[in-house]
Structure 1
Amino acid sequence: MPGLLSVTCLLIFSPFSLVVAQTAVLEEVRVIGRRDTGAALGVSTADLLAFDEQVSLNRTVGDWIEQLPGVSLNGQGGLFQAYSIRGFSRWRIRTEVNGVPIITDRRAGNSASFVPPDLITQVAVEKSASSTLYGSGAMGGVVGLDTRPAQGLSVKAEAANNGEQFSLTALSGRSDGLSAGMSVRRASDADDPTGDSLNTGFEQFAGLLAGHADLGGLSVNYSWIPSLGRDIGKSNALYPEIRSSSYPKEKHSVGQFELRSRGDWFLRAYHHYQDWDADVVRLGERRNVTRYQAHTVGGLFQASTALLRGEGSLGVEWVGRRGVSIDEQEFSSDGQLLFNQQLVDGDEDTLAVFADQQWVGGGLSVSGGLRYDQIEQSSDQRSDSDGQWSASAAIDYTLGDSWSTRAELASGYRFPGLSERYFNGTTPRGEVLGNPDLEAETRQSAEIGVTFEPPSSALRGALSLYYSDLENYIERYSISPLLVSYRNLDGASIQGLELDFGLQTGPVNHRLSYQWQEGEDDQGNTLADLNPPGFRYFMSWQGQRQGVYSDLSFRPSRDEFGADEQPLDSAWIWNARYTQRVAGNWNAELFVSNILDEDYRSTADDVAPLQPGRTFGLRLEWRKS
Structure 2
Amino acid sequence: MSFPPLATSARLCIGVIYVHSFLGTTSLSLAAAAELEEVKVVGRRDTLISTLGSTTTDIIAFDEQVSLNRTVGDWIEQLPGVSLNGQGGLFQAYSIRGFSRWRVRTELNGVPIITDRRAGNSASFVPPDLIAQVSVDKSASSTLYGSGAMGGVVSLDSRIPDGRSLKIEGADNGEQFSLSALSGSSEGLSAGLSIRRADDADDPDGDSLNTGFEQVAGTLSGVYALGDLDVSYNWLGSAGRSIGKSNALFPERRVSSYPDDNHSVTQLELRSGGDWFLRGYHHYQDWAADVERLGERRNLTRYSSHTLGGLFQANTAILAGTGSVGLEWVGRRGVSIKDKEYSPDGELIVAQELVDGDEDTLAAFADQQWVVGDVSVSGGLRYDRIEQSTDSSKSSDGQWSSSAALDYSFAEGWSLRGELASGFRFPGLSERYFNGTTPRGEVLGNPDLKAETRRSGEIDLRFAPLSSSFDGGVSVYYSDLEDYIERYPVGPELVSYRNLDGASVQGIELDVGFQTGPVNHRLSYQWQEGEDDEGNTLADLNPPALHYFFAWEREQRGFYSDLSFRDSRDEFGADEIPLDSAWIWNARFSQRLANRWRAELFLSNILDEEYRSTADVVAPLQPGRTVGIRLEWRES
TM range (shorter): over 0.9
Asked if residue 18 in structure 1 is aligned to residue 39 in structure 2, the reply is yes
For 1:414 and 1:344, the matched residues in 2 are separated by 20
Query: What is the identity percentage for the equivalent residue pairs of Structure 1 and Structure 2?
Result: 73
For 2:463 and 2:607, the matched residues in 1 are separated by 34
SS in 2 for 1:490: strand
Asked if residue 471 in structure 1 is aligned to residue 492 in structure 2, the reply is no
Q: What is the deviation of 1:452?
A: 2.1
Q: How does 1:8-407 map to 2 (within 5 A)?
A: 15-23=36-44, 29=45, 32=46, 34-35=47-48, 37-40=50-53, 44-130=55-141, 132-407=143-418
The farther-off stretch of 330-339 and 473-482 is 473-482
Query: 1:38 and 1:131, CA in 2 relative to 1: closer, same or farther beyond 3 A?
Result: closer
For 1:313 and 1:132, the matched residues in 2 are separated by 16
Q: Which sections of structure 2, spanning at least 5 residues, go unmatched?
A: 1-32
Q: What is the deviation of 1:482?
A: 2.6
* Per-residue Cα deviation, 1:49-90 (whole angstroms, up to 9, x for no partner): 012111111000000000000000000000000000000000
1:21 counterpart letter in structure 2:
V
For 1:45 and 1:446, the matched residues in 2 are separated by 14
Q: What is the deviation of 1:134?
A: 1.3
SS in 2 for 1:133: helix
SS in 2 for 1:437: coil
Where does residue 535 of structure 1 map in the other structure?
546
Aligned length: 604
Q: CA RMSD in A?
A: 1.2
The question of whether the paired residues in 1 share the 8 Å contact of 2:369 and 2:377 is answered with: yes
The farther-off stretch of 156-165 and 44-53 is 44-53
1:507 aligned to which of 507, 512, 518: 518
Q: What is the deviation of 1:45?
A: 3.0
SS in 2 for 1:420: helix
The question of whether the paired residues in 1 share the 8 Å contact of 2:58 and 2:137 is answered with: yes
* Per-residue Cα deviation, 1:211-233 (whole angstroms, up to 9, x for no partner): 00011210011000111000000
* Per-residue Cα deviation, 1:270-322 (whole angstroms, up to 9, x for no partner): 01000000000000110000000010000000011111111111100000000
For 1:171 and 1:45, the matched residues in 2 are separated by 31
Q: What is the deviation of 1:176?
A: 0.5
Q: What is the deviation of 1:453?
A: 1.9
For 1:167 and 1:477, the matched residues in 2 are separated by 39
The question of whether the paired residues in 2 share the 8 Å contact of 1:129 and 1:138 is answered with: no
Where does residue 16 of structure 2 map in the other structure?
none
Where does residue 536 of structure 2 map in the other structure?
525
SS in 2 for 1:92: coil
The question of whether the paired residues in 2 share the 8 Å contact of 1:130 and 1:138 is answered with: no
The question of whether the paired residues in 1 share the 8 Å contact of 2:35 and 2:551 is answered with: no
The question of whether the paired residues in 2 share the 8 Å contact of 1:131 and 1:137 is answered with: no
The question of whether the paired residues in 1 share the 8 Å contact of 2:512 and 2:523 is answered with: yes
SS in 2 for 1:52: coil
SS in 2 for 1:472: strand
For 2:194 and 2:472, the matched residues in 1 are separated by 39
The question of whether the paired residues in 1 share the 8 Å contact of 2:332 and 2:358 is answered with: yes
For 1:168 and 1:131, the matched residues in 2 are separated by 35
1:479 counterpart letter in structure 2:
V
SS in 2 for 1:421: helix
For 1:187 and 1:330, the matched residues in 2 are separated by 29
Q: What is the deviation of 1:506?
A: 1.5
Where does residue 459 of structure 1 map in the other structure?
470
For 1:190 and 1:116, the matched residues in 2 are separated by 18
For 1:45 and 1:516, the matched residues in 2 are separated by 19
Where does residue 552 of structure 1 map in the other structure?
563
Given the two structures, how large is their TM-score scaled by the length of structure 1?
Answer: 0.95
Query: 1:130 and 1:421, CA in 2 relative to 1: closer, same or farther beyond 3 A?
Result: farther
The question of whether the paired residues in 1 share the 8 Å contact of 2:51 and 2:141 is answered with: no
The question of whether the paired residues in 2 share the 8 Å contact of 1:166 and 1:187 is answered with: yes
For 1:68 and 1:290, the matched residues in 2 are separated by 35
Q: What is the deviation of 1:557?
A: 1.0
For 1:569 and 1:117, the matched residues in 2 are separated by 29
Q: What is the deviation of 1:132?
A: 4.7
For 1:515 and 1:324, the matched residues in 2 are separated by 38
* Per-residue Cα deviation, 1:493-516 (whole angstroms, up to 9, x for no partner): 000000011111211000111000
For 1:15 and 1:430, the matched residues in 2 are separated by 37
Q: What is the deviation of 1:21?
A: 1.9
The question of whether the paired residues in 1 share the 8 Å contact of 2:217 and 2:236 is answered with: yes
Q: What is the deviation of 1:15?
A: 4.4
1:38 counterpart letter in structure 2:
T
2:472 counterpart letter in structure 1:
G
Where does residue 603 of structure 1 map in the other structure?
614
SS in 1 for 2:543: coil
Q: How does 1:546-585 map to 2 (within 5 A)?
A: 546-585=557-596
SS in 1 for 2:144: helix
For 2:154 and 2:426, the matched residues in 1 are separated by 19
The question of whether the paired residues in 1 share the 8 Å contact of 2:90 and 2:243 is answered with: yes
Q: What is the deviation of 1:558?
A: 0.8
Q: What is the deviation of 1:130?
A: 4.2
SS in 2 for 1:524: coil
The question of whether the paired residues in 2 share the 8 Å contact of 1:365 and 1:397 is answered with: yes
The question of whether the paired residues in 2 share the 8 Å contact of 1:602 and 1:610 is answered with: yes
Q: What is the deviation of 1:177?
A: 0.5
For 1:607 and 1:483, the matched residues in 2 are separated by 13
Q: Which sections of structure 1, spanning at least 5 residues, go unmatched?
A: 1-11, 24-28
1:592 counterpart letter in structure 2:
L
The question of whether the paired residues in 1 share the 8 Å contact of 2:51 and 2:367 is answered with: no
2:51 counterpart letter in structure 1:
G
For 1:132 and 1:611, the matched residues in 2 are separated by 32
Q: What is the deviation of 1:36?
A: 5.2
1:585 counterpart letter in structure 2:
R
For 1:54 and 1:399, the matched residues in 2 are separated by 33
The question of whether the paired residues in 2 share the 8 Å contact of 1:499 and 1:514 is answered with: yes
Q: What is the deviation of 1:144?
A: 0.3
For 1:400 and 1:559, the matched residues in 2 are separated by 42
The question of whether the paired residues in 2 share the 8 Å contact of 1:98 and 1:146 is answered with: yes
SS in 2 for 1:473: strand
For 1:349 and 1:100, the matched residues in 2 are separated by 15
Q: What is the deviation of 1:133?
A: 3.2
The question of whether the paired residues in 2 share the 8 Å contact of 1:130 and 1:142 is answered with: no
1:258 counterpart letter in structure 2:
E
2:625 counterpart letter in structure 1:
R
